[in-house]
Structures are given as structure tokens and as C-alpha cells.
């Protein structure tokens, strides 16, 4: 087996050094009833050629986004990632290192995390950010738990614009942690509706901008209402590139900003691994979940970085920890940080404008198709349309014509009764030809 | 000054107890990096966790040595938690508690008894 | 003859000298100090050429950001240098044995990286029509089949994103199962003192009270204590097997029997599954739920701290409560059921937005497929052999915590052999860096004083193991010789000396502060 360096001779000699008669003698503590006599019923060792053949065949059965016009968003976005990013994250020293618990020999990872935290804080307009969480949805759930700890209150209000899968992720965790949740009805311009629901028992209000229907909202008024009641405002963003064009959550008064960071530096990967961004006001940081990297000096007074404020975490606080999280999304955060550094402020702003521009063009093209109603007024790079037929059927028909046309809202929330709503996203990777092909195919499907 | 087996100390003046952790505790904890004090106005019961003291590698609960209402906390510990190491039994105090049951103090150990107790650890 | 007298000398200067040397500019030869990206001149740079937008964004009005964000940029060559220089300050499994006990730092095959990047896996959207991704669903199903077969369990929830997330998933399923039975009185989860911190943290996060189970002097769960604590208030036990002392729980079948007899479930922390994969099936031991760290047992890269992946195998009793989404075999082939519905069962909810760590599924499946059933069995055997070899070769100079009997995949030492030497576990571990090795896991598990937990994994050659042994024996010799300074000041030869974690925690500086940007904005 190519990954196992020991030879039969090695094994023999090593057993002699140990003083064991056989390998079985080393497994002596396993109850006899549980010892398998031989290999389980699965295929045997396979060479690279064979494995590559099998997996390539499976991959070939999937329709890659890049193989034709592609307009899916709703929490995962197809952007161009510079070749440099993937080269760097495959360097041995990043790919095959562990969590930087020994800072003297992990300054590479730690400095990247410090830069990442600074980038995320700048993008979200918040004072501090952590070293990342699993993804945007789990970051949102952690934020609700944190708000409950900070305010010592047990009720969260979720706007109807929050991604339905995020809502279910939050509800799943909140339910068992004793935090009640109130989910408002889905609506294209849903965010402001939360204001009327805030009470003195509210721990937090969760809003999303741009929301699941694409609507970008100035949430400043919601922030004021929340703060007046002693509640926190959590702002969710699923498309991190939007930070390049839109006002940041911090500018609008958010106490905690969470986001899916996949858009920057990371491929679609059929849903994971992604990278959750988590930022908050500095005074709340001791209640924050996840790893934090901080600056310090070494024994010679040279600047260096370490993981810090660890007493919040499970390996020290155990059952009193702020979260059970024991990892971040290190390599995805590295990819994010490299891509962000390559873009810089100029590049990010331009990238964001290009996304917005292609989305406007797509909207205009679809608006010209008879029977299509544009629902979202102000958006970044995705918007909702109403079709005269069920969106799921239209999407299947368009897929047969080579166009991946977007995400039916009903796929996210079948119970909502919005079968005719399609969520359409256009990024910088969408060409004018793609838009035209979408328009023509949709016209055909609807006629 | 009176002491508990959990290494808190108490000094009472005009019905208000100043509370902190002992030099022995500060030594055992190592470098203190953060102290979480209770909110002023909070009512605490003897033996209940009312503050947390953190070193880099550990977070330890501090138990209220007496019952009463928290009337003041040591704001200086926010910026300078190292005071707990440098001056544990004076400048490193945690909170002041208005006693609801002054008799509790009498039941605590005096210095000699506490020193003898330390000798048994 | 012709004489070339202008060539370069090819031997060291005889008067070159030895000893401490400082460069004139502060660097250490090719190992450069590297400024933060925020400290460079990159406020107006970019390393990405994008076309000029030709539509205005005036439809967004006051939603548009006005102020500078505060993000520097790097041209591509600068970016390459920045990150390559930083990378050189990291230790990595590709450089040397990385003996972190409980973390399983084994070789990461690059075939897996290549396959995960095929457009048919990397460039597919989680919400594109299922009819356009049959190969992805098939891969998930094959992975699930392997995981179920290797563990002897009937079901698996693929979505958890890391080990601790898998624990959360398993405990949520247990909670849901109790609720479905109408058994609301169970509020306690029992956890051994030696457990990973994630176990009590997870149980508490879900609202359970955590109680500790005592350990016997030979490093196992104390059955009598367990039995005494089991009762109608106990929802579950969480036991790691092989445990964090690197030992197989001999009484595991009895532990499971007692737990079930008390009406509780047995959650097994599968962090150490790599020690028994292919030889022992947790399903045969009476386990109800166990997460599998794909980044440990099945070698998806640790990536400097994630991403992980933590699928959870479930018993028949817990399977109906698995979270959405899950795979079903229907008349039209495989499909993902994405929502909990009345017909679909009693799922407890959803762990995250999408279907799990697909990128890790591809890598883990490629790893399993490469080894095959026989190769995976060999993985466990070699991992255990290597650990016992290290234990055998180090026991005369260090103090094994449990000298009697074999260990499993990791060898645990305590610090009794350092007593009175002036050298601590931390000092010893840091001195290993000077000899070219990453320290072992230190001060964990908590039940052993000054613990040193060494896990070599099966991907180390005998030669590398011997190199490691010689380094540790030499260091142990230096301890005994009283060469304390070597240890107290270690590491001496790393990119940085020991770092001041107290300062970092007392005065947290969690980001670079943008004085420069404020200046820019003022201009």
C-alpha cells in the first residue's frame, strides 16, 4: 500500500523490540466478541489509476457550473478565484499543519489569521472578528446563542428575509438551548417588519442584507429600535462580495455581523467546506465563540501572534464554554484572506460593481420576457422574480436547455407557498451571452 | 481579615465586606489575565459563584464568602488584572458586599486558622 | 596548462568562526521577517485585473458605502512572496513526524486534493437541480456505505462540519429520541474525567448537566462509579474509545449494556477510530452514535485548523432523528430529502445551510478507496504498532503513564521522570522544536500529571520513528545531565522564541489598527 511505509520486515523487528508476539497481542484489550477475523466486505486496495478513474466518472456525471449559463446563488456564489489562491493553499506548510497551538512554529498560520481578522473587521465595519467558524449558517446560530448570553434574555426575532436554511439551523440550536425564536413571514422587503415585534424580553433581532430575495436594506432604524429595548442586532450576509459596494453592518449599528465567506477565495464545492465570518463589538468579545488570534511578543521582544482569550473555549472551560466549537475553517479562511489581499480595496469595489452590473443586465433581460415579474427593487447581485409557472418546473426545463437558471424559493421553504418565486443571481462570471441565452430559453419555456 | 477554604478573604467595615482572593490563590493561579466581577446591585448568597478569575490556561469561579448585595466592584482590574497577582489581599480586591447576615463573617477562619489550613494542603 | 584563478572558492574559509551571529538587517538568512499586509504600501494596489464597469450603481442610492473600507491590496508577485514567506514559518506533516496525540497528523495524499478539484465536484452548486448532480449524490452514498460498513452501524448523518459539530448532532439525536418516547426527565450526561473538552461543552450547550465518571488506576472508566451514577435522570454517556489515554476500554461492552439497561444512550467520541478501523466495528460494541473525524481517520488535511468534517453514524434507535438533508434511494435513483416533513420522519432539525463538507467527502472517499478494506485494517495495525514501538523505546528514559500492557495508537507519558530536574513538560516539548519535531500533545488528558501524549500514526517509516526516538533520548539525556538552560529557553532555533501568552490575554490586540486608513480618509 503506497501510503504505508512499514515493510513486513520492519513490522517483524518492531514487534520484537516491543516484546509482542504478534499484532493481535497489541489488540488484546479488545473483547473477543468484537474482533473481526478479516477485512470487512468492501473492495480491496486500489492504485491511483483505478481511484482516479472511478471518481472522475462520478464527477463527469455532474453538470459543472462553468459548463454553461449559470445563475444560482441563495447562499453560495460562483466567483472567479485567482490561480494564485489555490497554489498557495496547497503549500505543505499551510495544507498539512495543525491548529497553531505551538506558536513558535506556526507564525505563518497565525499571522494570516491576524490579517484575516483585520480584513473581516474592516469589511463588516465591526471592531473585532474571530478566526472563522464553520459557515455562515452556523455562525448565525452561534450569534443568537451569544446574544442570549450577553443580554441574559431568551427570545430571538428572525426576519422573513433570513435564508430559510439559516433559520432552521438557528432554530435547531436555539430550541435545545432554551432560546425561543419567532420567525416572521417571508417577504421581499421583510426586514423592517421586525421592529414592531421587539419587546423588553428580546435578546436579539436577526436580519439579513442583502436578504434571501436579494433586497438590500439600510438596517439603521432596526438597530435603533433593538438598542432602545436593550436587544442586540445581528446582521447576516450570505454574499461577502456585497461588502465592496454596500454600507457595512457596523456602519448601520449591528452588534454582531455574521456572513458566509465562501464567495471570496472558495469554490462552490456542493455546499462545503465554507467559511463563516463572525465579527462583533469589542466589548462583547469575551462572549464570542471560536478561536481568536492576538498580537504579542516573544522572549526576545519580537512581535508574534498567538491564539488568545482561550478561557472562553471548550478545552479549558469545558461545560461552561461559550461554544463547543473546537476548530475554525482555517484553510478556507486562508483562501479568503489571499483572495482579499489580491483584490485589495480597489479590486473588491470593482468586483462588487461588476456583480451589480451583471445582475442589473440580467434583471432587464428577464423583465423583457412575457409573464415574468421582477419582485426585488434594490439588490446587489441577486433578485427574485415571479414566474407564471412553478419555479421548480421552469428550472428543470431550463436545465434541459443548458441553463442553470437559479434557485426556486420553494426548494428552501416548501411550506411558504411561494412556488412561483425564482431567486436569480448573476456574478462577474456571467457573460452577456449567458444572459441572452437565459432570456431566450426562458421565453421558450414560458411560451 | 477572614478567610474561606476556597481561598477568598473578607474585610468588614461599617457592614460592608470587601472581598478578594488570597495570596496563596493568586500564586496558584499564575498570571491573572482577566477578572469578571458581578454587576453592582446583584444579590449574592454565601457559597455561590459570583466572580470569575482567569489565567491564560484556566478559568476559576470565585465563591461569595458572605451573602449580601454587591455595592461596588474594583474597576481597576479591568485594565490591570495583574494587580491580583501583585497585591492580592489589598489593591486586588474584587467587590464590596453589603452584608445581609453579619454572623457569617464570624464563622470564617482567621489568619492563623487559614495558615494552618494551608499547611494541610 | 591553463590556470583558472578567478573562480570562486569551494571550501569554507578557515577563519569563518562559529557561534552566535546576527544579520545586519534583523532577518535570519532566507527566513525573512514579514510585515503585515496592512504595513505595506498597498492601499491602492490590486493583484486582479477586472474590466471597468460601465453601468453606474446609482439605483442603490444611500445604500452605497461611502468611506474607505481599509483593505490593502498586493500585486500577484507580492502576494506570492508574502504567503510563501509566511508559510516557511510553519511546521507541517510534510516536513517531519508531527506527534500530536489525539489529533492524528498523518500523510495527506495529493491524489485526494486533485480529485476534490475536479469541476464536477468543486464547481457544483448545492442548490442546482438534483437531476444535474447524480454523480455527487452517488459519491455521498458510496461514502456513507463505507462509513456504515466500517462501523457496523445502520445509518449515517453526513452533514456535521467537524468533530464537535458531530457530537452536537449525536446528542441532539439522543435528545430527540428521549423526547419522542416522552421521557423528559433525563437531564444528565455522564462524561469521564479524561474526555475531550468538546464532550462536556457539547452536552452543556444542549442544556444537559454534565457529571464526571471516575477513572480507574489503569486509565479506564470506573465501572462501579458508572453504575452508581446511571439512573433515570441520565440521558447519555459520552465515552471516547480508544480513550484519550490511548487505551482500549476493555469493559466497553459492559459499559454499553449498563447504559442501555438504565435507558440511556451510548455516545462514542470517535476521534480515535483510526486505531481500530477495519479491525473493530463500534456497532459490535453497543454504540448508539459516533462521529467520525474525516480529517483524522480518513486523512483530509487539517489545513492549519480546519475545515474538518464529522459525519455521525447512528443506531436503529437514533436513525429516524437524523437531521436534514439526507439521501434516499427512490424509484428514480438517489435523491436528497432536504426538509423535515411529516412523511419524512422525526428529524431533529438542521445542522447547517447545505449538505455537509462535500470537498472533504471526496478526499475521504478517495482515501478509503485507495486503501481498501485490507489497507484500512493495516492502517489501524501500523498505527498501533508504531505507537507501541515508541513506547517501548522511550519507556526507560521517560515515564509511561500506564506501563502495563500495550497502548493503542498513542503512547502517554507523565512528568514524574522530570520531577526535581527544573524542566517541565512544556520546556521539554519546546526543546523538541530545536531538534526538528513538533511537540507532542501536552497537559492532556487532564487525568495524568504533566501529560505528554504521542501519536505517530501509521504513515511514519521506521527510520523516521528511530530519528524521533534518538532526538527524545538525547533530550532526556540532557535533562539528566542538568542542561536546564537548553530547555528553559527553548525553542532557540524556531522562527520565534517562546511567546508571551499572558500579555496577549491581558491586553488583547485582535486586529491591526487602521491609523493609516484614518489618515487616508482625512486626505
Q: Which of residues 193-212 of A touch C (CB under 8 A)?
A: none
Residue C343: predicted pLDDT: 60
DSSP label of C322: P
The distance between the two most distant Cα atoms of chain B, rounded to a whole number of Å, is 38
* From C443, C501, C506, residue closest to B82, measured CB to CB: C506
Q: Which band of pLDDT confidence, cut at 50, 70 and 90, is reported for residue C260? A: very high
**Nearest 10 degrees: Cα torsion A401, A404, A406, A407:** 100
Is 80 exceeded by the pLDDT of residue C275? Answer: yes
Q: Of chain B residues 25-44, which have a CB less than 8 A from chain A?
A: 33-34, 36
Q: Give the residue from A282, A311, A316, A321 with the most B CB atoms within 10 Å of its CB, the best one to mutate.
A: A311
Residue C342 pLDDT grade (very low, low, confident, very high; cuts 50, 70, 90): low
Q: Look at residue C347 and tell me if it is in a domain.
A: yes
Interface test with A, best of B30, B34, B38, B56 (most A CBs within 10 A): B56
| Cβ-based contacts of C458 with chain A (< 8 Å) | 4, 6
Q: Picking from A295-309, A311-325, C202-216, which range would have the lowest pLDDT averaged per residue?
A: A311-325
Give residue-wise pLDDT tens across range A133-183. Answer: 999 999 999 999 999 999 999 999 999 999 999 999 999 999 999 999 999
The nearest CA of chain C is from the CA of A76 a distance in Å of 7
Phi, psi of C358, deg, nearest 5: -55, -45
**Is C12 a member of any domain?**
no
- Chain B hits for C506, CB-CB cut-off 8 Å, are 31, 33-34, 81-82
Q: Do C385 and A340 touch (CB under 8 A)?
A: no
The predicted-structure confidence for C55-104, as pLDDT tens digits, reads as follows 877 899 999 999 999 999 999 999 999 999 999 999 999 999 999 999 99
Contacts B31 to C, Cβ<8 Å: 502, 506
pLDDT at residue A111 tops 70: yes
Summarize the confidence of residues A21-28 as an average pLDDT: 97
CB contact under 8 A, A28 and C61: no
| Residue A297: Cβ within 10 Å count | 15
The total domain count for chain C is 1
Q: Contact A444/A401 with Cβ under 8 angstroms?
A: yes
Question: Is residue C153 in a domain?
Answer: yes
Residue C185 lies in a domain: yes
Give yes or no for a contact between C292 and C273, defined as CB atoms under 8 angstroms apart.
Answer: yes
Residue B100 three-state SS: coil
- Checking DSSP bridges between strand C452-454 and strand C441-442, what pairing results, if any? antiparallel
Nearest CA in chain B to A316: B58
| Predicted local distance difference test score (pLDDT) of residue C385 | 98
- Chain C residue numbers with beta carbons less than 8 Å from the beta carbon of B54 are 505
Mean residue pLDDT across chain A: 96
Q: Residue A330 above 50 pLDDT?
A: yes
> Pick the residue with more confidence: C26 or C164?
C164
User: Which residues in chain A have their CB less than 8 angstroms from residue C34's CB?
Assistant: 111
Tell me: pLDDT of C256 over 90.
Answer: yes
Which range of residues forms the domain containing residue C206? 112-367
Beta-strand pair C265-269/C209-213: unpaired
Strand (E) or helix (H) holding A440: helix A432-446
In angstroms, the Cα distances linking C367 to C231, C274, C290, C299 are: 42, 13, 20, 7
- Do the strands C411-414 and C452-454 form a parallel or antiparallel pair, or are they unpaired? antiparallel
- Where are any strands of DSSP class E within C252-410? 265-269, 289-291, 312-314, 326-330, 333-337, 399-400
pLDDT of residue C17: 59
Cell numbers describing residue A265? 477565495
CB C151, CB C313: distance < 8 Å: yes
DSSP symbols for A182-210 = EEPPP-TT-GGGGGGG--TTEEEEEEESS
pLDDT tens column, C452-466: 999 999 999 999 999
According to DSSP, the residues that pair with A215 across neighbouring strands are: A379
Place of cell 472558495: A266
Question: Hey, are the CB atoms on A272 and C162 less than 8 Å from each other?
Answer: no
> ipTM of the predicted structure?
0.97
Judge whether C501 is closer than 8 Å to chain B, CB to CB. yes
Task: Give A7: exposed, middle or buried? Use CB within 10 Å, 0-12, 13-18, 19+.
Answer: exposed
Task: Answer yes or no: do A310 and B57 touch at CB < 8 A.
Answer: yes
Most confident of A121-130, B36-45, C21-30: A121-130
Q: Which of C511, C514, C517 to mutate to test the interface with A (most CBs of A within 10 A)?
A: C511
Give the angle C267-C272-C278 at the CA atoms, nearest 5°.
Answer: 100
Under a CB-based contact definition with an 8 Å cutoff, are residues C44 and A346 in contact?
A: yes
DSSP state of A99: -
CB A253 within 8 A of CB A220: yes
Q: Is A342 on the interface with C (CB under 8 A)?
A: yes
| Residue pairs spanning A and C at CB distance below 8 A | 718
Closest by CA position to A120, among listed C467, C517, C186, C510: C510
Instruction: Give me the CATH number covering residue C206.
Output: 3.40.640.10
Mean pLDDT over A359-386 rounds to 98
Residues of C in contact with B34 (CB under 8 A): 505-506
Q: What is the pLDDT of residues C479-513, one digit of tens each?
A: 999 999 999 999 999 999 999 999 999 999 999 99
Q: Residue A408: what pLDDT?
A: 98
The answer to whether residue C483 is domain-embedded is no
- Which residues of chain C are within 8 Å of residue B56 when distances are taken between CB atoms? 501-502, 505
Within a domain: C316: yes
Other Cβ atoms within 10 Å of A139 Cβ, number: 32
Chain-centre distance for alpha carbon A176: 23
Report the SS3 class of residue A229: coil
Residue B29 has pLDDT above 60, yes or no: yes
Handedness of CA A420, A426, A429, A432 (dihedral sign): positive
CA distance A443 to B11: 84
Which residue is listed with cell 426527565?
C185
Is 70 exceeded by the pLDDT of residue C266? yes
B57 touches chain A (CB under 8 A): yes
pLDDT band at A320 (very low <50, low <70, confident <90, very high): confident
Would you call A311 and B59 a contact, using CB atoms and an 8 Å cutoff? yes
- Asked if B61 has any chain C CB less than 8 Å from its own CB, the reply is no
Non-local (6+) Cβ contacts of A287 within 8 A are: A146, A149, A150, A312, A322
For the record, the C-alpha cell of C40 comes out as: 505595506
* Other CB atoms within 10 Å distance of the CB of residue A39: 18
A330 vs C342 pLDDT, higher one: A330
B52 Cβ under 8 Å from any chain C Cβ:
no
Which pLDDT score, from 0 to 100, does residue C1 have?
64
Burial class (CB in 10 A: 0-12, 13-18, 19+), C483: middle
Q: What is the pLDDT of residue C522?
A: 45
d(CA C102, CA C270): 11
For residues A285-306, average pLDDT: 94
Query: Given this model, what pLDDT does residue A296 score?
Result: 96
Could you tell me which chains touch chain B, where touching means 3 or more CB pairs under 8 A? Answer: A, C
Is A285:C508 a contact under the CB 8 Å cutoff? Answer: yes
Given CB atoms, is B54 within the 8 Å cutoff of chain A? yes
Residue C500 lies in a domain: no
Spatial CA neighbour of C308 closest among C264, C349, C267, C352: C352
Confidence of residue C311 (pLDDT cuts 50, 70, 90): very high
Residue A68 in grid coordinates: 454553461
Pick the more confident residue, C147 or C19. C147
Is the pLDDT at A315 greater than 80, yes or no? no
Residue of C43, C74, C127 best to disrupt the A interface, most CBs of A under 10 A? C127
In this prediction, residue C174 carries a pLDDT of 96
Decide if C106 is inside a domain.
no
| Cβ-defined contact of A17 to C389 (cutoff 8 Å) | yes
Question: Comparing C-alpha atoms, which of A92, A445, A69 is closest to residue C110?
Answer: A92
Predicted confidence at residue A311, as pLDDT, reads: 82
Chain A CB contacts of B36 below 8 Å: 286
Q: Is C503 in Cβ contact with A297 (below 8 Å)?
A: yes
Residue C3: pLDDT band with limits 50, 70, 90: low
Q: Which of C 430-449 lie inside 8 A of B, CB atoms? A: 443
Q: What single DSSP character describes residue C354?
A: S
Is the Cβ pair C506, B54 closer than 8 Å?
no
Q: How far is CA C37 from CA A100, A118, A205, A344, in A?
A: 20, 10, 35, 10
From the list C88, C109, C497, which residue is nearest A3 (CB)?
C109
User: pLDDT tens-digit profile of C343-388?
Assistant: 656 889 999 999 999 999 999 999 999 999 999 999 999 999 999 9
Enumerate chain A positions whose Cβ falls within 8 A of a Cβ in B: 286, 310-311, 316-317, 320
Question: Contact A176/C301, CB-based, under 8 Å?
Answer: no
Residue C104: name the closest of C312, C326, C410 by CA. C410
Mutation for testing the A interface, residue in C35, C36, C128, C275 having most A CBs under 10 Å: C128
Amino acid at each position: 500500500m503506497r501510503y504505508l511505509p512499514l515493510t513486513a520486515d520492519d513490522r517483524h523487528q518492531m514487534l520484537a523490540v516491543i516484546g509482542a508476539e504478534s499484532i493481535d497481542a497489541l489488540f488484546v484489550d479488545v473483547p473477543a466478541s468484537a474482533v473481526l477475523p478479516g477485512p470487512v466486505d468492501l473492495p480491496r486496495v486500489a492504485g491511483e489509476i483505478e481511484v482516479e478513474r472511478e471518481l472522475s466518472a462520478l464527477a463527469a456525471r455532474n453538470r459543472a457550473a462553468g459548463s454553461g449559463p449559470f445563475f444560482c446563488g441563495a447562499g453560495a456564489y460562483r466567483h472567479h478565484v485567482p490561480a494564485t489562491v489555490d497554489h498557495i493553499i496547497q503549500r505543505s506548510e499551510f495544507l498539512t499543519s495543525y491548529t497553531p497551538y505551538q506558536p513558535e512554529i506556526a507564525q505563518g498560520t497565525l499571522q494570516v489569521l491576524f490579517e484575516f481578522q483585520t480584513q473581516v473587521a474592516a469589511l463588516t465595519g465591526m471592531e473585532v472578528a474571530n478566526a472563522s467558524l464553520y459557515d455562515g449558517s452556523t455562525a448565525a446560530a452561534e450569534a443568537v446563542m451569544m446574544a442570549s448570553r450577553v443580554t441574559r434574555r431568551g427570545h430571538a426575532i428572525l426576519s422573513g428575509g433570513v435564508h430559510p436554511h439559516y433559520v432552521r439551523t438557528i432554530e435547531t440550536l436555539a430550541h435545545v438551548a432554551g432560546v425561543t425564536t419567532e420567525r416572521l413571514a417571508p417577504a421581499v422587503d421583510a426586514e423592517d417588519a421586525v421592529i414592531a415585534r421587539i419587546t423588553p424580553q428580546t435578546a436579539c433581532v436577526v436580519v439579513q442584507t442583502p436578504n434571501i430575495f436579494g433586497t438590500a436594506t439600510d438596517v439603521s432604524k432596526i438597530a435603533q429600535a433593538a438598542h432602545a429595548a436593550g436587544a442586540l442586532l445581528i446582521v447576516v450576509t450570505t454574499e461577502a462580495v456585497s461588502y465592496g459596494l454596500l454600507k457595512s453592518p457596523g456602519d448601520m449599528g449591528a452588534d454582531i455581523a455574521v456572513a458566509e465567506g465562501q464567495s471570496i477565495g472558495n469554490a462552490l464545492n456542493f455546499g462545503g467546506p465554507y467559511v463563516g465570518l463572525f465579527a462583533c463589538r469589542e466589548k462583547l468579545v469575551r462572549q464570542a465563540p471560536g478561536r481568536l488570534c492576538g498580537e504579542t511578543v516573544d522572549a526576545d521582544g519580537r512581535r508574534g501572534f498567538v491564539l488568545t482569550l482561550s478561557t472562553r473555549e471548550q478545552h479549558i472551560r469545558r461545560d461552561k464554554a461559550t461554544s463547543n466549537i473546537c476548530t475554525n475553517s482555517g484553510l478556507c479562511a486562508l483562501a479568503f484572506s489571499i483572495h482579499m489581499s489580491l483584490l485589495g480595496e480597489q479590486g473588491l469595489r470593482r468586483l462588487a460593481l461588476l456583480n451589480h452590473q451583471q445582475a442589473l443586465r440580467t434583471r432587464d433581460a428577464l423583465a423583457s420576457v412575457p409573464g415574468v415579474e421582477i419582485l426585488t427593487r434594490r439588490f446587489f447581485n441577486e433578485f427574485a422574480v415571479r414566474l407564471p409557472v412553478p419555479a421548480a418546473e421552469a428550472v428543470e426545463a431550463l436545465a434541459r436547455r443548458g441553463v442553470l437558471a437559479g434557485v426556486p424559493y420553494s426548494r428552501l421553504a416548501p411550506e411558504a407557498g411561494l412556488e412561483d418565486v425564482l431567486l436569480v443571481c448573476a456574478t462577474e462570471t456571467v457573460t452577456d451571452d449567458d444572459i441572452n441565452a437565459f432570456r431566450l430559453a426562458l421565453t421558450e419555456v414560458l411560451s | 481579615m477572614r478567610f474561606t477554604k476556597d481561598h477568598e478573604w473578607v474585610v468588614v467595615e461599617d457592614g460592608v465586606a470587601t472581598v478578594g482572593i488570597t495570596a496563596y490563590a493568586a500564586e496558584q493561579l499564575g498570571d491573572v489575565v482577566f477578572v469578571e466581577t458581578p454587576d453592582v446591585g446583584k444579590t449574592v448568597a454565601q457559597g455561590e459563584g459570583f466572580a470569575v478569575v482567569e489565567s491564560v490556561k484556566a478559568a476559576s469561579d470565585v465563591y461569595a464568602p458572605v451573602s449580601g448585595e454587591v455595592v461596588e466592584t474594583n474597576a481597576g482590574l479591568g485594565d490591570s488584572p495583574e494587580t491580583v497577582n501583585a497585591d492580592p489581599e489589598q489593591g486586588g480586591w474584587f467587590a464590596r458586599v453589603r452584608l445581609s447576615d453579619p454572623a457569617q463573617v464570624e464563622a470564617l477562619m482567621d489568619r492563623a486558622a487559614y495558615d494552618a489550613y494551608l499547611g494541610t494542603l | 596548462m591553463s590556470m583558472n584563478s578567478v573562480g570562486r572558492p569551494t571550501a569554507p574559509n578557515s577563519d569563518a568562526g562559529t557561534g552566535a551571529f546576527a544579520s545586519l538587517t534583523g532577518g535570519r538568512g532566507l527566513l525573512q521577517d514579514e510585515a503585515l499586509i496592512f504595513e505595506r504600501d498597498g492601499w491602492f494596489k490590486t493583484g486582479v485585473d477586472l474590466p471597468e464597469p460601465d453601468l453606474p450603481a446609482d439605483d442603490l442610492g444611500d445604500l452605497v458605502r461611502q468611506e474607505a473600507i481599509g483593505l490593502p491590496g498586493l500585486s500577484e508577485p507580492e502576494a506570492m512572496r508574502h504567503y510563501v514567506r509566511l508559510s516557511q514559518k510553519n511546521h507541517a506533516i510534510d516536513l517531519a513526524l508531527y506527534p500530536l496525540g489525539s489529533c492524528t497528523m498523518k500523510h495527506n495524499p495529493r491524489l485526494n486534493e486533485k480529485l476534490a478539484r475536479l469541476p464536477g465536484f468543486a464547481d457544483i452548486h448545492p442548490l442546482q437541480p438534483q437531476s444535474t448532480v447524480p454523480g455527487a449524490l452517488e459519491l455521498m452514498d458510496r461514502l456513507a456505505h463505507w462509513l456504515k460498513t466500517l462501523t457496523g452501524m445502520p445509518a449515517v448523518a453526513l452533514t456535521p462540519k467537524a468533530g464537535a459539530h458531530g457530537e452536537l448532532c449525536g446528542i441532539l439525536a439522543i435528545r430527540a429520541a428521549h423526547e419522542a418516547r416522552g421521557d423528559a426527565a433525563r437531564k444528565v450526561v455522564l462524561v469521564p474525567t479524561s474526555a475531550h473538552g468538546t464532550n462536556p461543552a457539547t452536552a452543556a450547550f444542549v442544556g444537559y448537566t454534565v457529571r464526571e465518571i471516575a477513572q480507574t488506576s489503569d486509565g479506564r472508566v470506573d465501572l462501579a462509579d458508572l453504575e452508581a451514577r446511571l439512573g433515570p435522570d441520565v440521558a447519555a454517556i459520552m465515552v471516547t474509545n480508544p480513550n484519550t489515554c490511548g487505551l482500549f476500554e476493555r469493559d466497553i461492552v459492559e459499559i454499553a449494556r449498563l447504559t442501555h439497561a438504565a435507558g440511556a444512550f451510548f455516545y462514542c467520541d470517535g476521534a480515535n477510530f483510526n486505531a481500530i478501523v477495519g479491525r473493530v466495528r463500534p456497532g459490535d460494541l453497543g454504540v448508539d452514535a459516533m462521529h467520525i473525524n474525516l480529517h483524522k481517520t480518513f486523512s483530509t488535511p487539517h489545513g492549519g485548523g480546519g475545515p474538518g468534517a464529522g459525519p455521525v453514524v447512528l443506531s436503529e434507535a437514533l436513525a429516524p432523528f437524523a437531521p436534514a438533508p439526507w439521501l434516499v434511494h427512490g424509484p428514480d435513483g438517489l435523491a436528497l430529502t432536504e426538509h423535515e416533513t411529516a412523511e419524512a420522519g422525526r428529524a431533529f432539525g438542521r445542522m447547517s445551510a447545505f449538505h455537509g463538507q462535500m470537498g472533504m467527502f471526496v478526499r475521504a472517499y478517495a482515501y478509503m478507496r485507495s486503501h481498501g478494506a485490507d489497507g484500512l485494517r493495516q492502517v489501524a495495525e501500523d498505527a498501533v504498532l508504531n505507537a507501541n514501538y515508541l513506547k517501548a523505546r522511550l519507556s526507560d528514559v521517560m515515564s509511561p503513564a500506564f506501563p502495563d500492557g500495550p497502548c493503542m495508537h498513542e503512547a502517554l507519558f507523565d512528568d514524574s521522570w522530570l520531577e526535581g530536574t527544573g524542566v517541565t513538560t512544556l520546556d521539554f516539548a519546546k526543546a523538541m522544536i530545536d531538534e526538528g519535531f513538533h511537540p507532542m500533545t501536552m497537559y492532556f488528558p487532564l487525568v495524568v500529571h504533566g501529560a505528554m501524549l504521542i501519536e505517530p500514526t501509521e504513515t511514519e517509516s521506521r527510520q523516521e520513528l528511530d530519528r524521533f526516538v534518538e532526538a527524545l533520548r538525547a533530550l532526556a539525556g540532557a535533562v539528566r545531565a542538568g542542561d536546564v538552560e537548553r530547555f528553559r529557553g527553548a525553542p532557540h532555533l524556531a522562527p520565534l522564541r517562546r511567546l508571551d501568552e499572558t500579555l496577549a490575554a491581558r491586553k488583547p490586540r485582535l486586529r491591526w489598527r487602521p491609523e493609516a486608513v484614518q489618515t487616508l480618509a482625512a486626505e
